[in-house]
Amino acid sequence: MAEQGQQGNPQDPFEMFRRLWGPLGVPVPGMAMPTLDPQELEKRIAELKSVEMWLNMNLTMLRAAIQGLEMQKAGLQQMQGMQQAMQQAMQMNAPQDKDRKP
């Protein structure tokens, strides 16, 4: 009992990891015992569900951004195709215009 904390409890070398991982609800194998308290479990479930909702929202925004960029790319490709078609049409009409001039 040489290593005692300020409150008389033995210092736990893994307490830092418990404090780090505890709020996330992720048990660190071999370092933390799972809780048997239903209220603590409900709290962890609620926290994880809020993280899940946040991740889903970010995933939805990411998918929307990707879809927007794909639409922008398709639009640019259409415009480039139209521009090439117009240039080809102008090149085909250009020799005919030279033939008509006296």
Question: DSSP of 7-66, one letter per residue?
Answer: TSPBPPTTHHHHHHHGGGT-PPTTT-PPP--HHHHHHHHHHHHHHHHHHHHHHHHHHHHH
**Dist. CA 25–CA 48, nearest whole Å:** 7
**In this structure, is residue 1 part of a structural domain?**
no
Domain that includes residue 90, residue range: 15-100
Inform me whether the pLDDT recorded for 3 exceeds 50: no
User: Measured in whole angstroms, how far is the alpha carbon of residue 18 from the centre of its chain?
Assistant: 27
Return the structure tokens found at 5.
């904390």
Binning pLDDT at 50, 70 and 90, where does residue 66 land? very high
Tens of pLDDT, residue by residue over 36-61, are 888 999 999 999 999 999 999 999 99
**In this structure, is residue 43 part of a structural domain?**
yes
pTM: 0.50
**In this structure, is residue 69 part of a structural domain?**
yes
Inform me whether the pLDDT recorded for 33 exceeds 70: no
Domain tally for the chain? 1
